[in-house]
Amino acid sequence: MSRMTPFSSPLLLGFDAMEKTLERLAKSGDSYPPYNIERLSGADGKAERLRITLAVAGFAESDLDVTTEENQLVVRGRQNDDTEREFLHRGIAARQFQRCFVLADGMRVIAAELKNGLLSIDLDRPESERLVRKINISVKD
For strand 97-102 and strand 72-77, is the pairing parallel, antiparallel, or unpaired?
A: antiparallel
Q: Model confidence over 128-137: pLDDT tens digits?
A: 778 888 888 8
Percent pLDDT > 90 in the chain is 34
Size (the chain), residues = 141
pLDDT of residue 2: 56
Q: How many Cβ atoms from other residues are within 10 Å of residue 83's Cβ?
A: 6
Is 60 exceeded by the pLDDT of residue 1? no
For residue 103, the Cα-to-chain-centroid distance in whole angstroms is 5
CB 98 within 8 A of CB 74: yes
Reduce the DSSP state of residue 73 to 3 states and report it: strand
pTM of the model: 0.70
Q: Model confidence over 35-48: pLDDT tens digits?
A: 999 998 766 666 67
How many whole angstroms separate alpha carbon 4 and alpha carbon 8?
6
How many whole angstroms separate alpha carbon 137 and alpha carbon 59?
60
pLDDT of residue 117: 93
Q: What is the DSSP letter of 53?
A: E
Mean pLDDT estimate for the chain: 82
